[in-house]
Chain A
Amino acid sequence: MKNVHIRRWAPAAIALTLLLVAAPLPVYAHAELLETVPGQEQPVSSAPKELRLAFSESLELAFANVTVTGDDGQQIELGTLSLAPMDNKTVIVTVADELPSGTYIVEYSMVSNDGHKIEGSYTFKVAP
């Protein structure tokens, strides 16, 4: 009787194990910033109309905050903040002003779905 049970369940168990081992899962820390548009290395030639911040985990839009500060210490006026369609790990924030040449500091504060808060900053350059 026992053997019959084992034989019946074994293929399912093996398939499940293989599926889990093969599934491409990222490393889980608390969410971290993976990628930004504009990028942090190369200056962009035209003023960006929006910023994209891609994180390693799904985010809570209600607790997402982004500020952008220019060279002169003035905060840039930002438009709406939203999650990318079909990708709740990426935040999109529109930029209301036409950004002149210069270096900008982006400060962010996010809460991931598991309830953890992450804060940080990065810079990008506009150089037409």
Chain B
Amino acid sequence: MDQLLYAVRFLHYSAALQLFGLAIFQTWIAPPRLQRTLAGPLRQLAIVAATILLVSGVAWLMLMAGTMGSGWTDTVNPVVINAVASKTSFGQVWLSHLLISASLLPLAVFGLGSSAGWAALSLLCAFALGSLGLIGHATIVDGFVGLLNRLSHVLHALSSGFWLGSLLPLLLSLKSLSSLELGSDANLALRKFSGLGHYAVAIALATGVFNSWIILRQAELNIAVPYQALLAVKVGLVGVMLVLALVNRYIFVPRIPNNGPGARLLWKGTVAEIFVSAAIIALLAVLGVLSPT
């Protein structure tokens, strides 16, 4: 059951990060003309992501019923599912989370015809993604430090969502860089993204360090513990992401003007970032289930 839970968590986190990132990109990063060009493909992506988010969210609840209860039979036992939803701290967060997730699908299908619809999607996605910072290891400390820990997990989710979730819309807008009509818009979007990206990366790194520190603060560090080994791999991959982001921003972007090789290189660099972020989300999906020590 653990393996299925890993898979479901991977899909759920990916969908939440992607939805938030694309909604923010379309609302705050893309200038109007680029927005109109991106609206079609991003709406399709939003519908797919919202569907995955909802289905995997329900599956997650059922698997938690199986984990907390007595195995596979309890994944479909309404009494146990109801007990998880109504009587556990996970359930309390999850009910609101699922309610928000359920509202995203009709919004993606029917409501993305205007910029207000995209703004509403950003806001609801912020709640959906942020609430993922209120479950699991974020809850192992009580009191004031516990509150800080949850806040830090929420910030980590949102800043990572901005960073990782914007990569695909960025890739789509890179195609417009050489277009006469959209070139300046794509350039502006690129500059805005990398400007805000600096803050997102800084917040994601700082909160990531803080969260790991809270969990492992007094633990005996031992790389043979699966959690710690996988966390070390995650830190390594985040390092790779950081190098890719810096190379993209400070080596490739300056070589874009005058039809330089920068646009093509940036495209490759962004694709590489997307692959590495998928690996990071996969690790995150497993880490949340493992015992840190």
Whether B141 pairs with A25 at a CB distance below 8 angstroms is: yes
A62 at the binding interface (Cβ < 8 Å): yes
Whether B145 pairs with A25 at a CB distance below 8 angstroms is: yes
Whether A60 pairs with B89 at a CB distance below 8 angstroms is: yes
The residues of A that contact B209 with a CB separation of less than 8 Å are: none
Known: A26-B218, A27-B293. A58 touches B142 (CB 8 A): yes
Whether A115 pairs with B145 at a CB distance below 8 angstroms is: no
Chain B, residue nearest A58 (CB): B142
Shortest distance between the CB of A85 and any CB in chain B (Å): 15
Interface band, chain B: 20 to 34
Known: A29-B291, A63-B83. A114 touches B67 (CB 8 A): no
* Binary interface encoding of chain B residues 218-257 relative to chain A, with 1 for a CB under 8 A from any of its CBs, else 0: 1110000000000000000000000000000000000000
Interface band, chain A: 20 to 34
Known: A26-B218, A115-B68. A62 touches B291 (CB 8 A): no
B64 at the binding interface (Cβ < 8 Å): yes
Whether A27 pairs with B218 at a CB distance below 8 angstroms is: yes
Shortest distance between the CB of A37 and any CB in chain B (Å): 22
Shortest distance between the CB of B132 and any CB in chain A (Å): 13
Shortest distance between the CB of B250 and any CB in chain A (Å): 21
In Å, the complex CA distance between A30 and B219 comes to 12
In Å, the complex CA distance between A58 and B68 comes to 14
The residues of A that contact B69 with a CB separation of less than 8 Å are: 63
The residues of A that contact B87 with a CB separation of less than 8 Å are: 60-62
Whether A60 pairs with B218 at a CB distance below 8 angstroms is: no
B135 at the binding interface (Cβ < 8 Å): yes
B139 at the binding interface (Cβ < 8 Å): yes
B88 touches which one: A23, A26, A27, A62 (CB < 8 A)? A62
Shortest distance between the CB of B52 and any CB in chain A (Å): 21
Known: A62-B88, A114-B135, A115-B68. A30 touches B218 (CB 8 A): no
* From B89, B140, B141, residue with most partner A Cβ within 10 Å: B140
A 108-125 contacts with B by CB, 8 A:
111-117
Shortest distance between the CB of B202 and any CB in chain A (Å): 14
* From B84, B88, B216, B292, residue with most partner A Cβ within 10 Å: B88
Whether A29 pairs with B68 at a CB distance below 8 angstroms is: no
Whether A113 pairs with B293 at a CB distance below 8 angstroms is: no
Whether B83 pairs with A62 at a CB distance below 8 angstroms is: yes
* From B214, B217, B220, residue with most partner A Cβ within 10 Å: B217
B89 touches which one: A25, A27, A113, A116 (CB < 8 A)? A113
Shortest distance between the CB of A34 and any CB in chain B (Å): 15
The residues of B that contact A20 with a CB separation of less than 8 Å are: 145, 148
* From B68, B136, B142, B214, residue with most partner A Cβ within 10 Å: B68
B127 at the binding interface (Cβ < 8 Å): no
In Å, the complex CA distance between A58 and B88 comes to 11
Whether B136 pairs with A115 at a CB distance below 8 angstroms is: yes
B 259-293 contacts with A by CB, 8 A:
289, 291-293
Shortest distance between the CB of A83 and any CB in chain B (Å): 12
A30 touches which one: B84, B90, B291 (CB < 8 A)? B291
In Å, the complex CA distance between A29 and B216 comes to 9
B 162-216 contacts with A by CB, 8 A:
214-216
- Excluding A25-B145, A28-B217, A115-B88, 12 further A-B contacts by CB distance (< 8 Å) are A28-B140, A28-B292, A29-B219, A29-B291, A30-B291, A60-B88, A62-B83, A62-B88, A63-B68, A63-B83, A114-B135, A115-B135
Q: Can you spell out 8 A-B residue pairs with CB atoms less than 8 angstroms apart?
A: A28-B140, A28-B214, A29-B291, A60-B88, A111-B67, A113-B88, A114-B135, A117-B67
Give me the interface of A with B, judged by CB distance under 8 Å. 20, 23, 25-30, 57-58, 60-63, 111-117
